[in-house]
Amino acid sequence: MTDTLTGTGPKPLRLYRGLTRPYAPARVQRGSGTDFTDCPFMALRYAASPKGVVLVLDAPVGSPRVREELWLVTSAKRFMIWGAFDDFILAELPAKELRAHVRRKGVVAASDEYKAAMLRRAIMEHLPRSGSIAP
């Protein structure tokens, strides 16, 4: 359902995925689902390696390929995207750069919710303005 005054549709769902190595589209199983979360701090935890990255996606709301799934973690939601998701990727950010934000003095001892909010702001600053994938 689009807004007739502005011509915009519903706001896309911002999702994150932490990987231990750079993203390679060839490794994605096209016929199966891939897990994502709505919490950047949770994704950063999964990117636990020196070459780790965090994928940032904007998934369309209401798409039959995007579903919320059961997850026993209460601080974040889990989503499954079925098939390829390359068209949704906004950025692939080095995890070591994001870790620097949560290891700062005054942040390292803060709550996970605060760290997630800090990472959301940092990620917004890293996102390319043109919509292309960041190196």
1 confidence band (pLDDT: 50, 70, 90): very low
The CATH number that applies at residue 51 is: 3.20.170
| pLDDT score recorded for residue 105 | 84
- Full-model pTM: 0.81
Dig out the tokens for 6 from the structure.
């502005």
1 belongs to a structural domain: no
59 belongs to a structural domain: yes
What total of structural domains would you count in the chain?
A: 1
pLDDT for 67-93, tens place per residue?
888 877 777 899 999 988 899 999 999
CB-CB contact of 88 with 48 (8 Å): no
Q: How far apart are CA 3 and CA 18, in angstroms?
A: 33
Residue 117 belongs to domain spanning: 13-126
pLDDT for 36-71, tens place per residue?
999 999 999 999 999 999 999 999 888 888 988 887
| pLDDT score recorded for residue 133 | 47
